[in-house]
Structure 1
Amino acid sequence: MAGKEWSDADFGGLPSVLVAAHELKTPLALIRQLALLLDDDLTSSADKTQIQQRIIRTSEQALQLTIDLANSANLTPSLFPLEPVNPLALCQQVAMETKFNAMLYGRKVSWPKSSRNSQLILANRTLLGRILANFLNNALAYTEDGSEIKVSVKATKDAVRMSVRDFGPMMSLKEYRLLLDEMETRKTVRTRPESSGLGIYVANQFARAMNGRIGLIRHRDGLTFYVEMPISRQLSLI
């Protein structure tokens, strides 16, 4: 099925306080529960080590989400200037930044290989990196055990598409159409069960600030989220 592209109108502007509160309430409640387990004498040393790692991962994700929300409300060109960016080099950077998170989830991620002849895009490295990280976090949460998450970069005539393909539970055509309908009628920005989709909202805001766009493709065994960015006509300074 062809990809679905979204605009600001699809999300109805900034997310409501209710949506933001829902997204932040879940990790805070989880951190509290995990902290209580650390004080339980019945919790083994090995389990406490895993709990500590999970607390760190959850708190870092919640903190980054608040930073992303703050940035999405002030996407001025002076704060986030555009420049020629090598998408394959950016993938390597995001791979290093998310390596620990992938290990905690027990997931394998396939990344595209670097190439000197990679087509440059016009983007802001920080914002584009956060888009990929949000897509990847979604994939890590929903990919089934034993399946590999695939990150790919593909150049077209005027743009470069960076995609994150997960292999999660099968989504029926009815559910897929309902998901898109909900977004277009501004009822919600949900993307998967138990998720408000706030990370996808942020990704959409960041992409549009860079003259790019995000989209979604449905598969029999998962979803692909992608961002398309215009090809840079400037010479690389690297």
Structure 2
Amino acid sequence: MLQTLRSKILFYLVLISMIGIVIVSFFIQYGFEESFNSYLDRNREKKIDRIITEIEKDYRKNGHFTSDPVYGLLHENAMTDQLYFRLYDRFGKMQMDTSSIRGMLNSFGLTEPEPSGEEWHSKSYTLKVDQAVIGKLVAIYPEGLIDDEYTFIQTIQLYILAAVCLTIFLAIIFSMLFSKKLTAGLKKLSFAAGELQQHNLDIRIPLSGLPTEVRQIAVSFNNLAESLAKEERLRKQFTGDLAHELRTPLATLRSQIEAFQDGIWEPTPQRLQVSHEELMRLVRLVNELEKLLAAENPQIKLEKMELEAESVLAALWEMFLPIFKEKGVGLQIEETAQEEMFEADKDRLMQILSNVLNNALKYTPEGKNVTISVVTDKDGYVGFQIQDEGSGMDEEDIPHIFERFYRGDKSRDRKTGGVGIGLSIVKALMDAHKGLIKVKSRLNKGTSITLWFPQEG
């Protein structure tokens, strides 16, 4: 019982609805009965006041109590409203009594039989004429409702009960519809999660008709499915690219070693050097993979310290100037106008900047320039901007350049000797620093990469 979310929602909606309906109906009935009783009491008091006025008026006119028209008025109230009176003069002698009419009406069957245990209420009123006491009037009436009054209240209660039953029925119907509509999106989500578990990465949840909260979950699920599908594609691509990267040097080494074994080649220093280069290519690939795994390790610990941007530029200048001169590419450092401080792991920082600079050097032809500058137009961040005048890249390639082994031009890294992991390491280390990367590039015009580091770690 109440095992499913829909049954729980339905149960609590119906429960809350019924509690609300019962409370509202109770207050309606209680308020109506109180108001109706107050109305009857006021009406009775008005009738009694009218009778008192008539008696005092008649006494003032005649100088004593007369039976006409006072008795007719008392008789009328006794017959219609079960309001009985006893009239006493100032000496306590009874002048009129209509309470006996009750028994006569019962004997003729003109009123409902008197219920057993019915209580009667009496109230005395002093009669005065010109401030002189002339007698006393005692009003006698049953406690509670009588005849038509009781029937009227029963009718109202019946209507209230019918309204309560109808409202409860409607509450159950609408609760069932609402719970079904509410859980429909969750059922879609549950089905999609099952499909995703079965490696159906193309599953998506339609967003139309979903409540806002469920829609947000569905959007998150669709984003998750898209991310998993992308990761799966990258995994397959990574496996294929890694196999491709390993296949070429291994095939070369195999053919050379077999040639040595079969006596086709003499193991001359030149041929051994070629084999050694292929072997070192494998070593570099493994080293790059190890660096990438270390950079992507969520447990990576950064030894952050306060650094000055100008000193970082000076270190890069000393480190890379000979390499750039060897290739014939100009390295320009733009000095900063003021001292800029930020926090970073110095070794990791140099690894990041070195990878980006090496990448810029690879794709910048001889006679062109690479420029490094410090930018500070972003609140709370210090940025290193590296601009080259190289081959650039298509705009559609920019979102993918940090993926492992990604190549917009499939022959591009072959020509430069790269393995396509350097920028993946940069992205992982920048994420560890909680930094940002901004890339701009135009094909055959060059590329600009800005690395933003938070000033406070």
What secondary structure does 1:143 align onto? coil
Q: Specify the alignment match of 2:375 in structure 1.
A: 154
User: Do the aligned partners of residues 61 and 227 (structure 1) sit closer, same or farther apart at CA in structure 2, a change above 3 Å counting?
Assistant: farther
The aligned amino acid for 1:39 is: Q
Select 2:438's aligned residue among 215, 227, 231: 215
The two structures have a TM-score, normalised by structure 2, of: 0.37
Q: CA deviation at 1:134?
A: 1.0
The aligned amino acid for 1:215 is: K
Rg comparison, structure with higher value = 2
Select 2:356's aligned residue among 135, 155, 169: 135
Where in structure 2 are the equivalents of 1:220-235 lying within 5 Å?
221-232=445-456
| Count of residues in Structure 1 that have an aligned counterpart in Structure 2 | 203
The aligned amino acid for 1:189 is: Y
Q: CA deviation at 1:229?
A: 0.8
Give me the whole-angstrom Cα distance separating, in 1, the residues matched to 2:353 and 2:239.
25
What secondary structure does 2:365 align onto? coil
Where in structure 2 are the equivalents of 1:113-128 lying within 5 Å?
113=335, 117-128=338-349
Q: CA deviation at 1:219?
A: 3.8
Instruction: Please tell me whether the aligned partners of residues 120 and 232 of structure 1 are also in contact (alpha carbons under 8 angstroms).
Output: no
Instruction: Please tell me whether the aligned partners of residues 182 and 188 of structure 1 are also in contact (alpha carbons under 8 angstroms).
Output: no
For 1:126-151, what per-residue CA distance to the aligned partner results, in whole angstroms no more than 9, with x for missing partners? Answer: 11111111111111111122111101
Select 2:328's aligned residue among 106, 128, 134: 106
Q: Specify the alignment match of 1:163 in structure 2.
A: 385
Q: Specify the alignment match of 1:202 in structure 2.
A: 425
For 1:24-65, what per-residue CA distance to the aligned partner results, in whole angstroms no more than 9, with x for missing partners? Answer: 7789999xxxxx99727xxxxxxx9xx9xx99x989976863
For 1:98-142, what per-residue CA distance to the aligned partner results, in whole angstroms no more than 9, with x for missing partners? Answer: 233223322111123377x42111211111111111111111111
The two structures have a TM-score, normalised by structure 1, of: 0.65
Q: Percentage identity across aligned positions?
A: 19
What secondary structure does 1:229 align onto? strand
Instruction: Flag the structure with more relative contact order, 1 or 2, with Cα contacts below 8 A and sequence separation at least 6.
Output: 1
The aligned amino acid for 1:107 is: V
Select 1:68's aligned residue among 284, 291, 299: 291
Give me the whole-angstrom Cα distance separating, in 2, the residues matched to 1:160 and 1:24.
39
Q: Relative to structure 2, which stretch is displaced further, 187-196 or 119-128?
A: 187-196
What secondary structure does 1:140 align onto? helix
Give me the whole-angstrom Cα distance separating, in 2, the residues matched to 1:223 and 1:155.
19
Q: Specify the alignment match of 2:311 in structure 1.
A: 89
The aligned amino acid for 1:214 is: I
For 1:144-194, what per-residue CA distance to the aligned partner results, in whole angstroms no more than 9, with x for missing partners? Answer: 2211110111112221111110101254xxx21x2136569x797336652
User: Do the aligned partners of residues 85 and 61 (structure 1) sit closer, same or farther apart at CA in structure 2, a change above 3 Å counting?
Assistant: farther
Give me the whole-angstrom Cα distance separating, in 2, the residues matched to 1:23 and 1:111.
35
User: Do the aligned partners of residues 170 and 218 (structure 1) sit closer, same or farther apart at CA in structure 2, a change above 3 Å counting?
Assistant: closer
For 1:185-214, what per-residue CA distance to the aligned partner results, in whole angstroms no more than 9, with x for missing partners? Answer: x79733665236421111111001001011
User: Do the aligned partners of residues 163 and 12 (structure 1) sit closer, same or farther apart at CA in structure 2, a change above 3 Å counting?
Assistant: farther
Instruction: Please tell me whether the aligned partners of residues 20 and 198 of structure 1 are also in contact (alpha carbons under 8 angstroms).
Output: no
For 1:43-91, what per-residue CA distance to the aligned partner results, in whole angstroms no more than 9, with x for missing partners? Answer: xxxxx9xx9xx99x989976863453242133535x3222212122112
Give me the whole-angstrom Cα distance separating, in 2, the residues matched to 1:85 and 1:137.
22
Select 2:407's aligned residue among 180, 185, 190: 190
Instruction: Please tell me whether the aligned partners of residues 72 and 202 of structure 1 are also in contact (alpha carbons under 8 angstroms).
Output: yes
Select 1:179's aligned residue among 386, 390, 397: 397
Q: Unmatched 5+ residue regions in structure 1? A: 1-8, 31-35, 41-47, 234-238
The aligned amino acid for 1:71 is: A
